[in-house]
Amino acid sequence: MDYTNIAPIAQEVFEFEPAKSTEMIIPGNIVEKGVLISPSGMPSFRQDGVPELKTIERNYGTKDSPRRNICYIHTFHGHLIDPYMDVPCYCPACCRQLADNGTSACTLAHLPQGSSYTHIEVKRRRVRCTNPKCNYNYTYPIDFKADGHMITQPLLNFTEDLLSYGTMTLKTISHLTGLNKNTVKDIHKAMLQEKYTVDGKGKELIKPEKYARYLGIDEFKLHDGHKYATIIINLETGYILHLAHGKKKASVYEFIDRVGEEWMSHVEAIACDMNSDFEEAFHERCSHIHTVYDFFHIVKNFNDKVVSEVRKDEQQRLISEDRKDEAAALKHSKYILMESAETRAQKDRDAAEGKLVSKASELFNKPEVKQKGGHAEKYSKLISENELFLAIDIVKEALQEAYKEKSVGRMSSKIKDIIETCRGTENEHFLWFARLLENHFDGIVNHARYKISTGKVEGVNNLVKTERRTGYGYPDDEYFFLRLMDASRKKSRF
Ligand SMILES: [Zn+2]
């Protein structure tokens, strides 16, 4: 059945327009004392009588530690003003006259008044066809109802305003508006879809705002820790351009198909981890793109595969020599080993100056904590026990220096030195690292040529971690991904 004939008429009549002045609403009536009359923002709604007061209990805490509070809800009863009430309407299906079919009531959440919530109950007219063979019936639409939610348009606008501040959690907004947390989430998701998907339909991500010279690609763990997702960022702006489930080459193809060959021709280099096959996927489709292995991932590999392993081996050695206390002490040395000489020296200087790590509190009986010294001393004790710890430090400092180089020639010779240092140790973990550097030599020294900022790669990594925490309890990856897209575009982030 075709409803198009009648629906547009109703829409036109009730075109939403906020009231311009209170004169429209109070035609010279005397107002009761203690009563405020103000525009509702819903010109087609007429209130009948006084509001009804109801109390409900809301939980402001969590499921485990509830904090119950009584909330007030004012329900305003009223009806839709229907200027066509007396005008005969005809059935769009069979052209017979339409007859009244009673009214139907519908309750919508409306703007809160301070800490009490407001509902409005709208009675609206229903009509049916007088032809007994025709099933046509029609309920007049509420022009101020927000699409897809049982709330008014003014409440939707208010909720969207709160969401766009970007500083409140969904739970806070839920308390302020009286809406369910999932409703707030759905409203936020729709806003983000509007912003980041083609025509706001939520089916396909928008094309990147501008061309990118350097891209970063990385993978991260999703909520359950087993599934992975792939992220592509613009390394100059820090904007997330693409997100996809899985860590497969397919997500690279998908990205290239979305942005097109022309867009890709502006990309000069991509930064990625050495243990991924992303670069292969990029080269298959765009042979002009150079690979760069960024400092963040190199250090991450070194810490995870060399520092941690060497420390574990040393611990085993001490235990086998029955030096359990020393083995236990080594357990806490991980961070001293991972720190650079510069950080250790800084911490010792802070200790000498008596710098505070945290303030004392009389109220909570907490003494002040000063920076502990002896980092350099502990470190020299460690290396006197095991020369490999010294090698760790040498390699780290050398990597840092090499990554500061702006000339390919000088960076190459520094990386070659590091490879030699690693080989010199004859330790299996260092030998592994030497092979890693050798097999990815070109990509490493490419860093001297392209300005790839490690800060941006690391920034996005941290962003994923914080957003994952905030987004907990919402097993909706689509919403999580859109939140990430949005957060990466907030200037304060980087
Ligand atoms: Zn009909």
Distance 131 CA to ligand 1 centre (A): 6
Question: Which of 487, 489, 490, 478 minimizes the C-alpha distance to 193?
Answer: 478
Contact (Cβ atoms closer than 8 angstroms) between residue 292 and residue 448: no
Report d(CA 421, CA 173) in Å as an integer: 57
Q: Which pLDDT value is given to residue 117? A: 93
Distance 128 CA to ligand 1 centre (A): 8
Distance 232 CA to ligand 1 centre (A): 56
Q: Which pLDDT value is given to residue 91? A: 86
Buried b (16+ CB within 10 A) or exposed e, 44-80: bbeeeeebeeeeeeeeeeeeeeeeeeebebbebbbbb
Q: What SS3 state is found at 16? A: coil
Contact (Cβ atoms closer than 8 angstroms) between residue 392 and residue 400: no
Distance 291 CA to ligand 1 centre (A): 68
Beta strands at 290-293 and 269-272: parallel, antiparallel or unpaired: parallel
Report d(CA 140, CA 82) in Å as an integer: 9
Distance 132 CA to ligand 1 centre (A): 8
Report d(CA 260, CA 125) in Å as an integer: 52
Distance 370 CA to ligand 1 centre (A): 84
Q: Which pLDDT value is given to residue 125? A: 85
Q: Which pLDDT value is given to residue 417? A: 92
Distance 80 CA to ligand 1 centre (A): 24
Distance 127 CA to ligand 1 centre (A): 11
Q: Which pLDDT value is given to residue 84? A: 55
Neighbours of 434 (CB within 10 A): 19
Distance 4 CA to ligand 1 centre (A): 14
Q: Where are the beta strands (DSSP E) in 61-177?
A: 68-80, 98-113, 116-129, 137-139
Distance 104 CA to ligand 1 centre (A): 20
Contact (Cβ atoms closer than 8 angstroms) between residue 51 and residue 76: yes
Distance 45 CA to ligand 1 centre (A): 29
CA angle 255, 257, 262 (to 5 degrees): 100
Distance 343 CA to ligand 1 centre (A): 82
Report d(CA 6, CA 26) in Å as an integer: 32
Distance 82 CA to ligand 1 centre (A): 21
Q: Which pLDDT value is given to residue 4? A: 39
Distance 455 CA to ligand 1 centre (A): 67
Buried b (16+ CB within 10 A) or exposed e, 364-389: eeeeeeebeeebeebbeebeeebebb
Q: What is the mean pLDDT of each run of 10 residues along the chain (494 residues)?
A: 37 41 51 78 88 85 84 92 63 86 92 92 89 87 91 96 89 91 93 90 84 89 76 89 84 91 92 82 90 89 89 85 77 69 78 76 72 73 75 88 91 93 90 93 91 77 79 72 87 48
Distance 2 CA to ligand 1 centre (A): 11
Distance 133 CA to ligand 1 centre (A): 8
286 Ramachandran zone, left/alpha/beta (phi>0; psi -120 to 50): beta
Distance 91 CA to ligand 1 centre (A): 5
Contact (Cβ atoms closer than 8 angstroms) between residue 307 and residue 298: no
List C-alpha distances in Å: 380 to 1, 386, 413: 85, 10, 28
Distance 148 CA to ligand 1 centre (A): 28
Distance 464 CA to ligand 1 centre (A): 57
Distance 425 CA to ligand 1 centre (A): 91
Q: Burial level of 215, CB count in 10 A (0-12/13-18/19+)?
A: buried
